[in-house]
Structure 1
Amino acid sequence: MLRDLQDLLRKKLGDGLVVDDFKTEKLLPPGENYASTIIKVDAVVRRNEKADKEVLHAIAKMAPPSVYGREMYQSPLTFRKEIGVYEHILEAYKQLELESGFKEDETFDIGPKYYGSRLSLDPNAEFDDDAAILLENLMVRGYSCGVRSVGYDLDKTKLILKSLARFHALGIALKWKKPEEFEKLKIFMKPVDLKLDGSMMNSLKYMVEKIATDSVIGKYASKIYALNFEDLFDTLMAEPEEPWGTIVHYDFWVNNVMLHVDENSKPDDVKFVDFQMYMYLSPMRDLIFFLFTSLDGDARKDIDELIDFYYESFLAVLARMECDVTKFPREVLDKHLIEDARLELLHCLIMMKILTLDVDGEDKTNPSGILEYGGNELYVIRLREIMLYYVEKGWL
């Protein structure tokens, strides 16, 4: 239940704001969001007592309903991280661009409008049921996510990658131009405490067995067996090699990107959502994860060209921000691709389960059951694609 909406909105929209009425309902079906409860909020508001009424369309991100879910997704930390993006990091990027000569309407407007947040109504509580992050409901303006089991086509993928490159490059530009400010922002980049527990290990073992017994990729199972899962897991959050380190989303897949299309059904704008996992890593981590989880079948045929496109977009932003692009040679990017692809392999393989789940069928998920899910035919097809590409590129 969303309580005291007026007080929450006043933090961002001013003390004079009046909420005359509001209604809420669940925004997403079960199985479409795992780390929070998301509700739609339609509020009748006035900017002050004498102002005309207007309707505010928002969504409220609230804590998972179960204690298990809050512990699994480390809600007190992830909520603070997401608040940090809207209140500090995206604002820092905007200010940096303005100081670099960008006009207001040229700045990087990559997130939904932020209407306020809280961790509790109790000033003595760290986090409880009243925690909420209030954001613009982008769907009202025509934005939508792709179908997770299908992914984005080539045109949409290019628009997304151009924005992802800008997101990464602005982090590097801020680090170079305002190092003291960037260091202060690192408090929000604290990684979640990922653990290779029994459920995770069993899930990984199951995937290896699935690969080993497959008629197409079984012959490559030895390459997976050669990976030390414990060592890989221990290096997932290792500091990136400089100067490539930047703020990465680290949960960058089809459900966390929303697109707007014009009257000709051509994509013309993109928004990123769910900034709960971001941290300071190599930008290749986001790139690889997105390319292997969020493209449709035709776009996945052009992964090599899309990597080139991302790199060119990345350099273009750095150049406009007057950063030394010679510090980012292509041969070093290719080296990072190999290293980061190995780190992201487990991430991608586990994500394949979520991508191929049938949220309306018998494999509807819950926080405790995601890792135990056995997979379906589409899951096997996607496993094959990833493995064959990795083998072709020598990433295993």
Structure 2
Amino acid sequence: MDEMQTALPVKELHNLLQETLGPKMTIKSVVWKPLTNPGENYGSLIYGIDATIARNNTTEVLNLVVKIPPPTEYLIDLFNSPISFWKELIFYKKIVPEFTKLQMESGIDPDKLVQFPLYYGGRLGLTDPNVFDEQAAIVLQNLIPKGYSVRDRLLGLDLEHTQLAIEELAKLHAVTIGLKLKDSEFFKYSVMPALVHVANDTTMETVRDMLRQVHDTLKELPEAKPYINRINKTLRYDYEVDYRLSKPSEPWGTMVHGDYWSNNMLFKYAENSHPISIKIIDFQLGYYGSGAKDLIFFLLSSVQDELLNNSLEDMLDYYYKSFINSLTSLKVDTEKFTREGFDEEVKKSAPLKFGQCIGMTNVIHSVRGVVKNMEDVGKDVNFSAIGNNIRVQKKLLHILQIFDKNQWLID
């Protein structure tokens, strides 16, 4: 996409940057471009901005990513943008610094920290920075010039990418638990409010409509017929045990990312093309729950089918060992975090993620170029239909086989 020379979509960018760079910082020039294609992200508009700034008698170029709300009232309601933007703003502004502080005080090697894009500034609205409007904004470091990139969602992750993603997820869950145990007051009054669920009535109705349509697709597939009764029971259980209301078993409660799949992670590569680093992005949907929920959705949504078939148990084991190692590095007593307890969390969490696993398949495996622009999305949009193709049907059947093999469907 070409860099744009027209008016910057984000108003008063200088005020946003001055939050962290100081009041004497000035912007000399900017160039910008959209960073997401149609269908890659509906929850926000995302721009890449290269800003030439001056401060302390020096000039430098900042590579930035700026997120602002989606362009239609329907999408703002669907993603509950007033809440989701507030959650992500609090995450970067208040919670990430405490994550970093805890890890540094624990003596963890800086190269081993769970790390996030640098935060430069944010607001809920232009008129009042604490009241949501269409100019809500979060300004972060653009990781692409640093060598990071998103893996092609249609390829699936191989073993190297998968292990990096699992290890980083385990670190995120562990550092959340570490903060909960070591600074319970901050966790209770600053972290937990930011882990409120974003789902509203519009969100839940859209999700259930997606599931109804995927359910109808499965009913028409001959290969799915042996599973239909258990599919029905598992989806009914998913409906009845609303994930917004279900409570995690302690001490396993942590920050669930809520949307941990390959589009929400960026990888950096060595000269030999092997992935060596990862950063997690998009923290608008986080909630308090069992980390096993993130793990199940990640594995079923993002990992290559052959790897799932041959190494699922190995990947569960890899997560558990990484999680325990991370807790140990934070000097957290791991006695209560037994392997038996983890296996129970996986067993309880999997049926509750079945709906997300099959519901998101159409989106994740949609063919490029068939999805509407965000400006054209209204209540009539059919998210399930955008990817209903042979590839999607094959993936749905594979998810069923994995759930069946591991006894994750409700009998």
Give the TM-score range, shorter chain: over 0.9
SS across alignment from 2:260: coil
Letter in 2 for 1:158: Q
Q: Which residue of 2 aligns with 1:394?
A: 407
- Displacement of 1:225 in angstroms is 1.6
Query: Which residue of the partner structure matches residue 323 of structure 1?
Result: 332
Alpha-carbon distance in structure 1 between the residues aligned to 2:388 and 2:10 = 36
Determine the C-alpha separation between the residues in 1 that align with 2:90 and 2:396: 35
Instruction: Name the residue aligned to 1:123.
Output: 128
Q: Which residue is equivalent to 2:165?
A: 160
Contact 1:148 1:294 in 2 (8 A): yes
CA offsets 1:26-68 (integer angstroms, 9 cap, x no match)? 11111111100011111111123x22x2111111101101111
Q: Secondary structure at the match of 1:83?
A: helix
- The residue identity in structure 1 corresponding to 2:84 is T
User: Could you give the per-residue CA deviations for residues 102-159 of structure 1, whole angstroms, max 9, x where no partner exists?
Assistant: 35x2462421111111112212872112211111111111111111122211101101
Q: Distance in 2 between matches of 1:199 and 1:181?
A: 35
Using a 3 Å threshold, how does the CA distance of structure 1 residues 324 and 198 change in structure 2: closer, same or farther? Answer: closer
Question: Does residue 304 of the first structure (1) align with residue 313 of the second (2)?
Answer: yes
C-alpha contact 2:173 2:323 (8 A) present in aligned 1: yes
Give matches, 1:79-228, under 5 Å: 79-103=85-109, 105-106=110-111, 108-123=113-128, 126-184=131-189, 185-195=191-201, 198-227=205-234
CA distance in 2, matches of 1:331, 1:109: 26
CA gap of 1:228–1:256, structure 2 versus 1, over 3 A, is: closer
CA 1:59 to 1:131, structure 2 compared with 1: closer, same or farther past 3 Å? Answer: same
- Show CA shifts across 1:47-92 (max 9, x none): 23x22x2111111101101111111111111111111111122111
1:1-396 residue pairs with structure 2 within 5 A? 1-48=9-56, 50-51=57-58, 53-103=59-109, 105-106=110-111, 108-123=113-128, 126-184=131-189, 185-195=191-201, 198-227=205-234, 229=236, 232=239, 234-237=241-244, 238-301=246-309, 302-361=311-370, 366=377, 368-373=381-386, 375-396=388-409
1:191-240 deviation digits (Å, cap 9, x = unpaired): 11244755443432332232233222221111012235376354312121
Q: For 2:240 and 2:372, how far apart are their aligned partners in 1?
A: 27
CA contact (8 A) 2:38 2:372 kept: no
1:374–1:43 Cα change, 3 Å: closer
Compute the displacement of 1:373 (Å). Answer: 3.9
Aligned positions, number: 393
C-alpha distance 363-129 of structure 1, shift in aligned 2 (>3 A):
closer
- Alpha-carbon distance between aligned partners in 2 of 1:258 and 1:233, rounded to the nearest angstrom: 35
Cα distance in 2 for partners of 1:227, 1:136 equals 41
Letter in 1 for 2:30: F
In structure 2, the gaps of 5 or more residues are 1-8
- The residue type equivalent to 2:339 in the other structure is R
Q: Distance in 1 between matches of 2:125 and 2:76?
A: 14
Displacement of 1:344 in angstroms is 0.2
Code of the residue aligned with 1:236 in structure 2: it is Y
- Decide whether aligned partners of structure 1 residues 124 and 344 sit closer, same or farther in structure 2, where only a CA change above 3 A counts: closer
> Identity of aligned pairs, percent?
32
Task: Provide the C-alpha distance between the structure 1 equivalents of 2:233 and 2:348, rounded to a whole number of angstroms.
Answer: 15
Alpha-carbon distance between aligned partners in 2 of 1:362 and 1:348, rounded to the nearest angstrom: 20
- From the superposition, tell whether residues 274 and 306 of structure 1 become closer, same or farther in structure 2 (CA, over 3 Å): same
Distance 1:109 1:374, change over 3 A: closer
**8 Å CA contact retained: 1:250, 1:277:** yes
Cα separation, 1, equivalents of 2:235 and 2:103: 43
CA shift, 1:359, in A, is 2.6
The TM-score normalised by the length of structure 1 is 0.94
Q: 1:23 is matched by which residue type in structure 2?
A: V
Question: Aligned partner of 1:311: which letter?
Answer: Y
CA distance in structure 1 between the partners assigned to 2:362 and 2:407 by the alignment:
24
Is the 2:33–2:49 contact (alpha carbons within 8 Å) kept by the matching residues of 1?
Answer: yes
**Secondary structure at the counterpart of residue 335 of structure 2:** helix
Change (3 A) 1:200 1:248: closer
Alignment partners' CA distance in 1, 2:196 and 2:315: 30
